[in-house]
Structure 1
Amino acid sequence: MVSRKQERLLRYVEDGNVLKLKSYLRRHPGLSVTFRGRKGRSPLHVACSQRGDAIIRLLLKHGADPLLQDHRGNTPLHLAARQAVKRGTRVYEDLVVPLRKSCPAAMDVLNREGLTPGDLLGSMKMWQSQQCPGAEEENEIAKDQADREWYQKLSAECEAEFYTQCGRYEEDLSTGEAEPETYDTWADRLAREYAAKRCRGAGNSWSREQWAKGKEKEQQEQEHQRYLEQEHRRYQEQAQRLQVERAASHKQRYERSCAHIFGQGSPGTRIPLRYSDIPWPAPGGTVEEMVAVILHGVDRGDPSVYRRYLRGQQVMWHPDRFTQRCGDRLAQADRQRILDTVIALSQALNRLADGAR
């Protein structure tokens, strides 16, 4: 169930108001930014659909979960990938890159259509270059090599044309023997061969240098990938701790509410109790969620303690006991709904008690 504070936070995200959102999160440091609103979308989903790159980075900084899926199974990265495919490189850098760095595992999450964000980005040239590190350097090497070969061919053709016109290939018909090579011709030929050899050597050393740079870049990317994975594990551990703290807070609120409502004075002298006034373990939640709050912190390893605690909760939520305690204080408009929920909760506790025997 979304709280009022979370509704306001979601409104700031929908309006794209970065300054108000930042100020609001500063005033409420413990407010969770990972929750589902309409159509199961989180604030991070909304920010990706509206191309709010500054809001995306702010939400990720405050612990937004990039793996949360909406009613269609899309993560925020699915929405960002679709925006990038439609609008190009700039949107890719603004939306997709921060999400990939925050949670690399999100690239392999399937939605209900059976597509991952990587599938959606597969048609983009820049994505292909990201998937194949060093491909750009290899293309440049191949291009330079082709240019050098073309210039060598052009030089050879010009040289052949020049010597043909100057008689380089004419024969001395009077003697029937080829003209002997002069010293200048011999020197020029050696200079050309030496220059060509140096050019080939420079080309090979240049290729080795580029290969070494490619390997270094690949190692850096691998280290960065390991760093991102460590950050993701730390994020999951932090999220798990927050979940435990949140469950403990719900349990404390539940116990205080029970003491307050069930410990009030004689029936008929209090304000009528509406549905929202009943100390439900998880207000607005399902029966399973209510049972989870009730059992939080209970030691199930000790059967006697566990059964004793269940018996106390069975007595508290038994329909007859509940009616005796609060029956004439219930608001008439909500009476039937309250009793139905009490019956469902009592039956769930009875099933747990039967399984613990």
Structure 2
Amino acid sequence: MSLQQKRVWRYVQEGSLLKLKSYLRKHRDLDVNFSQGKRERSPLQLACCRGENAVLRLLLKHGADVLQKDRKGDTALHTAVSEVFKCGRRAYTDLVVPLRNSCPDALNAPNSAGVTPKEMLKMWKKHSKTTENLRSLTEELEKINKKFVELSKAFDAIDGLPDDDDDDDDEDFKDWAERIRNEYFDKMRNATGGTPSSSGWRSWKSNQERDHLKARREEEARQGEKRRYDEGCAATFNADSSSVSTKLSYSDIPWPAPGGTVQEMVDVMLHGVDRKDLPLFRKMLRKQQALWHPDKFAQRCEARLEEKDKTQILDTVTALSQELNRLAQSLRDLKI
């Protein structure tokens, strides 16, 4: 492997899109279809492993071969689908879609084990369906537990129930509740191939409540980040900002996730927007694209930037703009 190829590998490994783009522009004849490491992976496969959509698209633009195989016979599309199992639909949109569009034949290319990316995608869709069934069953359990509490209170409020010793086969309230739980857990076992038994339902419910509490706290934290981001944008990018003499350092810019990755910043920008509502999602995305467009940002703020931080600030703005543009492009490319 040449020194130039080593440089390309390092930039892909670091996720340094701007450096890679500049380097490939200077070395237009550089072959990016080389392999590295014990797995003999290509730079395109490495980009898939790291979930780097923008780097992946740049490599494709410079002639990266989707069908190039590693030591196990996996192509870049095999690697991308493996990431889908780990990261879900976002990896499908970011990695599988551009590779599939660039080389449709790669869907049917088998690896050394004889497995194609198309077969792997079918397995993922089946797995996603099972996960959705489990979510529905979980919601059903919550409804059953709620109903159980309501009926328990009503049952406790009834005094002086007549005894009926002559009919031992009648199903009393406790038996009824236990039967409902058993039926539910039977459904869980059938749907998922093994879940907690009915005797362990209290422990399972406790774990569910703990997970829900954790999820709620995480959501509150994300909402706080989004609120601080919106307030920061309003304070920094308002109509009178050009007349303010205070210089802006890197830390003064209202980054959505200070210290985070570009992807984490975009997640904060678009938090709370239903991605299934495509018209609304596109509208919010266009708003952020306009806010962080390098030229428009420069018009608003370049004169106020601290000289020592100016390059870093403008590079980050450019990276944010490219990621937003990539997301907008993926919405246009998405074919499910």
The TM-score normalised by the length of structure 1 is 0.36
Structure 1 or 2, whichever has the larger Rg, is 1
